Structure 1
Amino acid sequence: MPADTAAASEPGAPRFSARIREASWSRHQGLDPSADAEQAPGVFDRLFDGTLTVDDYTRWHAQQYFVYEAIEAAAARFAADPVAGPFVFPELARVPAIEADLRFLMGPKWRSGIEPLPATKAYVDRINEVAADWPGGYIAHAYTRYLGDLSGGQAFGKAARRNYGFEDAGASFYDFADIKSPKDFKDEYRSRLDAADLTEADQARVIEEVLLAYDHNGAVLAALGESLGRNPFEPKVIAAICHHMNTDHVADTLVICQGAGGQRGAEAARMTGFDGEGADFAAVVDGAEVPIRIDWAAPLSERAEVRPEIVRLFTESKAQLDDV
């Protein structure tokens, strides 16, 4: 073991796992706080008081999909790593459960109706960057999410089942069937943290990354909180219409992005979502995908209003392009 390995190995020094918990406690307490009277209730508050709609619960669930997809891709890379490998547990994997939940909540076309928020994309980009080749990066982000899921996350699962009448599907994300005792598992996880072959510098870096993971998670929750109750369309409706546009009207979608979207040089495009105020697209321009937001002519609130508005966007976009 290196001579400068972890201060936790010195007599009387606090254990690494204890240092992480102490350093991150305030961040943990500050996520979606309900104690701030000046702040509107957030995702957690509304889940626990029963006012979080199933549609907003679904949107929250969808954002988590992207985060766990990134973490579990890193787990596959580090499975055989001597430092990070001990923290890769198959029983922790959440992506299959999230996929099953989203299929239940949104239908078979669920993948067409979810897109990472800017805050989620920043979170995922950070995971991909720091866990590309640094074992500590994977450890930091896995620790933050999975131990949280085995702790407070269990209360989220109970609230979701109570509020929405879920049995298995819909809240299976919170079910760790292969972990019989979350407490014993967390104790073992922390023991592995204390025994990890990390230098003191790496331990400090891991702690900083844990804090950053909390900050990214808080940013996602804040972004979700800003839109609670504002989208009149159910996620399954959004998924179905996006799938239809991206499967049956690929050329029309590209025309809309080139015309109304102002991206004349777009090479390909897809619809990524919509709400009562407008539609979201992603277009490939010069080999890179760029987001596009196009406002409706007037606010929409019914599914039947969406098709005529898309037809209008296409018709006006085609005329605009034909005039060039």
Structure 2
Amino acid sequence: MPADTAAPAGPLPFSTRIREASWSRHQGLDPSADEADGVPGLFDRLFDGSLSLGDYTRWHAQQYFVYAAIEAAAERHEGDPVAGPFVFAELARLDAIEADLAFLMGPKWRSGVEPLPATAAYAARVEEAAATPGGYIAHAYTRYLGDLSGGQAFGKAARRNYGFEGLGAGFYVFEGIASPKAFKEEYRSRLDAVDLPEDERERVIEEVLLAYDHNGAMLAELGANLGANPFDPKVIAQICHHMNTDHAADTLVICRGAGGLPAAESARMTGFDGEGADFAAAVDGAESPLRVPWAAPLTERAEVRPEIVRIFTESKALLDARP
């Protein structure tokens, strides 16, 4: 063989195949400035310091639903010979997200967060795909290695912009991982050695691409509404909690009346913005979202209660007038 003729290259390691196949998705994930109008997106605003704390909190809240799905699957796969090696206690993010949201929104935070349609679709895909070891590996890899990579820059920007010293950006802190670089190398070595046939490896790669697509859709939906909600997420959580615990019967009346679901069996308020209030009402055991517009745009917390009272009063009159 001539000295300048290279030997044939061997097959690419599985981790390299995943990284190369998903690189364009990774590069296109940032919903940054639209080339047509130059409007900065969520990531751009985080890095340039113009992302409001409210919109940062709303982004954080959407991630809660994705990690809840991934970490529920992790519990199921912990002892699996294929997926088990990719279940690391030090990677789990759900407790950190919950602590951040309690800090950002107060102890009633859970009443003020609801998945966007794109987020619900993402979480549903995780739940479906992660029924298999390969599907779990795909979604865990996409999220956790991203958190250990670009996610560290997000955490640094959040701490700089909002003055966080711990809580608020705790999601990005992996206390059990001394060296993210060494950890990622070990993770990739496990990917290279994973006991999956070639057709299953191909399916893992396809699922990684789907994970990027779902994450991109969630970020795009968030980005389309940046700056649109005049109300602080903490205020939203407090009012939703109050309506759902102290005025549950009134919430149901609103959904049956103004919401147009007279057969609703239960209901809860899930959020609101300057244009209207969002609810979820159950009919025949199935919950559906609905929206009730305000009579006029609202911008102040003090305006919300009188408007809810008005909607309740009109809803009750509407229901009372029915045969």
Q: Is the 8 A contact 2:62 2:116 kept in 1?
A: yes
- Matching residue of 1:95: 94
Q: Displacement, 1:269?
A: 0.1
How many angstroms apart in 2 are the aligned matches of 1:34 and 1:241?
A: 33
- Matching residue of 2:298: 300
How many angstroms apart in 1 are the aligned matches of 2:144 and 2:25?
A: 16
Q: Displacement, 1:36?
A: 4.8
* Structure 2: unaligned runs, 5 residues or longer: 1-8
Alignment of 1:93-242 (within 5 A): 93-132=92-131, 134-242=132-240
- Matching residue of 2:259: 261
* Structure 1: unaligned runs, 5 residues or longer: 1-10
How many angstroms apart in 2 are the aligned matches of 1:216 and 1:293?
A: 24
Q: Is the 8 A contact 1:42 1:221 kept in 2?
A: no
Secondary structure of 1:292's aligned partner:
strand
Q: Which amino acid aligns with 1:176?
A: F
Q: Displacement, 1:41?
A: 1.2
Secondary structure of 1:61's aligned partner:
helix
Secondary structure of 2:259's aligned partner:
coil
Q: Which amino acid aligns with 1:183?
A: K
Q: Displacement, 1:50?
A: 0.4
How many angstroms apart in 1 are the aligned matches of 2:34 and 2:116?
A: 25
How many angstroms apart in 1 are the aligned matches of 2:259 and 2:160?
A: 43
Q: Is the 8 A contact 1:261 1:292 kept in 2?
A: yes
- Matching residue of 1:285: 283
Q: Is the 8 A contact 2:31 2:216 kept in 1?
A: no
TM-score by length of 2: 0.96
RMSD in angstroms over aligned alpha carbons? 1.1
TM-score by length of 1: 0.95
Q: Which amino acid aligns with 2:219?
A: L
How many angstroms apart in 1 are the aligned matches of 2:281 and 2:21?
A: 42
- Matching residue of 1:275: 273
Deviates more, 1:163-172 or 1:24-33: 24-33
Q: How many residues align?
A: 314
- Matching residue of 2:83: 84
Secondary structure of 2:155's aligned partner:
helix
Q: Displacement, 1:77?
A: 0.3
Q: Which amino acid aligns with 1:120?
A: T
Q: What do residues 246-302 of structure 1 show as CA deviations (whole Å, max 9, x unaligned)?
A: 000000000000000000110000000000000000000111000011100000000
- Matching residue of 1:4: none
Q: Which amino acid aligns with 2:294?
A: W
How many angstroms apart in 2 are the aligned matches of 1:151 and 1:137?
A: 21
Q: Is the 8 A contact 2:31 2:220 kept in 1?
A: no
Q: Displacement, 1:170?
A: 0.3
- Matching residue of 1:8: none
Q: Displacement, 1:37?
A: 2.8
Q: Displacement, 1:33?
A: 4.5
